[in-house]
């Protein structure tokens, strides 16, 4: 199957301008949500993924589809996600000790929430870091969804 690439951001809607005060006359254009994914493996060393979020974007969700349970040599079964080698700017250490879909959030932290609402003026590589694994490290696919350049 072929693919099409747009430089974006992409907006969609069929009423481009508000010309009145009733539905059908009020602008209904919104940003298209984008998604990128990367296979990841549990590691106590921060690792850059292949996910790059465009500048001025809004992160709408981060999910880990865990296919091999996170293991632990130190009872730390966590994953954190960020935009630098500290890997905590988006998601603080969150337990990842079960196979399946894990929804990751900024929690109740104002700074992390601010980064979700506006990723800043440069593109960001997504990093992950975990608690040290035991003999078999955890593995899965990280999916990051965002609205491209919604704050530009």
Q: Is pLDDT above 80 for 89? A: yes
Quick one: pLDDT band at residue 107, thresholds 50, 70, 90?
Answer: very high
pTM, whole model, 2 decimals? 0.91
pLDDT digits (tens, 9 = 90+) for 30-57: 999 999 999 999 999 999 999 999 999 9
Q: How many CA atoms lie within 13 A of 57 on its CB side?
A: 25
The pLDDT score that the predictor gives to residue 152 is 80
Tokens of 131: 């608690």
Q: Is pLDDT above 90 for 68? A: yes
The pLDDT score that the predictor gives to residue 5 is 85
Q: Over the range 14-32, which residues count as b (16 or more CB within 10 Å of their CB) and which as e?
A: eeeeeeeeeeeeeeeeebe
């Amino acid at each position: 199957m072929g693919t099409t690439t747009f430089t974006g951001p992409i907006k969609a809607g069929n009423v481009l301008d508000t010309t009145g005060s009733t539905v059908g006359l009020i602008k209904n254009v919104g940003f298209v949500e984008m998604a990128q994914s990367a296979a990841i493996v549990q590691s106590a060393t921060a690792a850059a993924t292949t996910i790059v979020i465009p500048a001025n974007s809004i992160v709408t969700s981060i999910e880990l589809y865990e296919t091999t349970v996170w293991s632990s040599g130190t009872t730390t079964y966590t994953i954190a996600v960020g935009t630098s080698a500290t890997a905590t700017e988006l998601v603080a250490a969150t337990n990842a000790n079960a196979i399946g879909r894990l929804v990751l959030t900024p929690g109740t932290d104002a700074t992390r929430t601010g980064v979700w609402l506006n990723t800043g003026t440069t593109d960001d590589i997504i990093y992950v870091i975990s608690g040290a694994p035991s003999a078999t490290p955890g593995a899965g696919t990280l999916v990051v969804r965002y609205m491209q350049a919604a704050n530009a």
